[in-house]
Amino acid sequence: MVSIENLEKEIKEGKLKSIYLLYGEELYLLENNLKRIKKEFGKCIKGINYILIDEQNVAEIISDIETPSFGYEKKLIIARNTGLFKKEAKKKTGELAKLKEKLGQYIQDNISIINDSVVLVFAEEEAEPKQELYDIIDKNGIICKFDYQKPAQIEQRLKDICNAYKVKIDSQTTRYFIESCGTNMQDLINEIRKLIEYAGENGTIKKEDIDILSIKKLESVIFDLTDDLGKKDISKALQVLQNLIYAKEPLAKILITLYNHFKKLYITKLALNNNKDLVSSLNLKPNQSFLTNKYKIQSKFFEEMELKSILQDLCDLDFNFKCGLIDLQVGIEAILCRYCSNIENKGN
């Protein structure tokens, strides 16, 4: 198995292999590398030297490999979500299981022919390593798993893009950008391109540019709202809520996001009090690990019982709204005001 970085390097250098298995959750990078393979391969004539396969016609894969590319040196075959690499049932039965076995044997027996005439790329959402076909491809080709990128990897990719356009961005601003816009690579690429255009060649992307131009994720805005609550600044908290409503965020979605956020703060409080690992307690993905510090800081604003009470208030609001007893916006505003009022009363 090779890393994403090594795969990208080999493709950039024009070193195309004959068999690839690309799979995993980070679909943007997977698709990007698939495009690079196709571009490096060269001219593609569908049905002649370019064949697309999916679960509907996967049974024809061996026949497609064997069919000459008629006037072209090699043929590019891209097989998407064929199901060939999914975890097998205990009893290996059915046509797909037979095809797996047949294809694996075919690859082993004819690898020299495949190397001379075909570039075969499997692009799958999931792949189970503990199976024979996976092992055969690992021995005869390239396997790359596209896991979600870690914060440091995302940061480096964004800096590389900025450097390519001769635009500067420092590490602190890059991290703020990721915190604001999320960790979805496609969204980040779209947003950073906008900021690059705004900064211009030899320009610098600044924090205020991100605040003005970037579309912040709802989860990031809820962090801002919670910061305001923690600082007992109800006017700012309500202004953040108003901005979300003005941006046409559905109130039901705001309610759910608020509940999930305060639930994570509650879990953070419990985990810290009981010396539990925060990443596993919050069930964070590798590309979300940077959030632990933010949850730690915000959890200090609240007592454990306060967080429990806010969660109960949000559940009660959901019930009362569904029963037609209260307007959702009024209910959310009331909970925010009630929390700040309780803080002030405790202070008195």
Task: List the chain pLDDT tens, one digit each, 348 residues.
Answer: 899 999 999 999 998 999 999 999 899 999 999 999 999 999 999 999 999 999 999 999 999 999 988 889 999 999 999 999 987 655 455 788 899 999 999 999 999 999 999 999 999 999 999 899 999 999 999 999 999 888 889 999 999 999 999 999 999 999 999 999 988 898 999 999 999 999 999 999 999 999 999 999 998 999 999 988 888 889 999 999 999 998 889 999 999 999 999 999 999 999 999 999 999 999 988 778 888 998 999 999 999 999 999 999 999 999 999 999 999 999 999 999 988 765 555 544
Per-residue confidence (pLDDT) for residue 93, from 0 to 100: 57
Please tell me the distance from the alpha carbon of residue 131 to that of residue 341, in angstroms, as a whole number: 60
Q: What is the dotted CATH code of the domain comprising 151-213?
A: 1.10.8
Please tell me the distance from the alpha carbon of residue 348 to that of residue 345, in angstroms, as a whole number: 5
**Which of 27, 35, 125, 131 is closest to 76 using CA atoms?**
35
Please tell me the distance from the alpha carbon of residue 61 to that of residue 253, in angstroms, as a whole number: 44
Q: Which two tokens stand for residue 192?
A: 């950073």
Per-residue confidence (pLDDT) for residue 348, from 0 to 100: 46
* Cross-strand partners of 78: 52, 121
* Cross-strand partners of 79: 53, 122
CATH fold of the domain at 218-347 = Zinc Finger, Delta Prime; domain 3 (1.20.272)
**Which of 42, 47, 1 is closest to 20 using CA atoms?**
1
Q: Who's near 72: CB < 8 A, 6+ residues apart?
A: 43, 45, 48, 49
Per-residue confidence (pLDDT) for residue 24, from 0 to 100: 93
> Do residues 26 and 146 make contact, with C-beta atoms less than 8 angstroms apart?
yes
Angle, helix 328-347 to helix 234-246, in steps of 10 degrees: 170
Q: Who's near 300: CB < 8 A, 6+ residues apart?
A: 230
Residue ranges of domains in the chain: 4-146, 151-213, 218-347
Per-residue confidence (pLDDT) for residue 169, from 0 to 100: 96
CATH fold of the domain at 4-146 = Rossmann fold (3.40.50)
**At 80, is the secondary structure helix, strand, or coil?**
strand
Per-residue confidence (pLDDT) for residue 339, from 0 to 100: 83
What H or E segment, with its residue span, contains residue 163? helix 151-164
Q: Is 214 exposed, middle or buried (0-12, 13-18, 19+ CB in 10 A)?
A: buried
Per-residue confidence (pLDDT) for residue 195, from 0 to 100: 97
pTM: 0.76
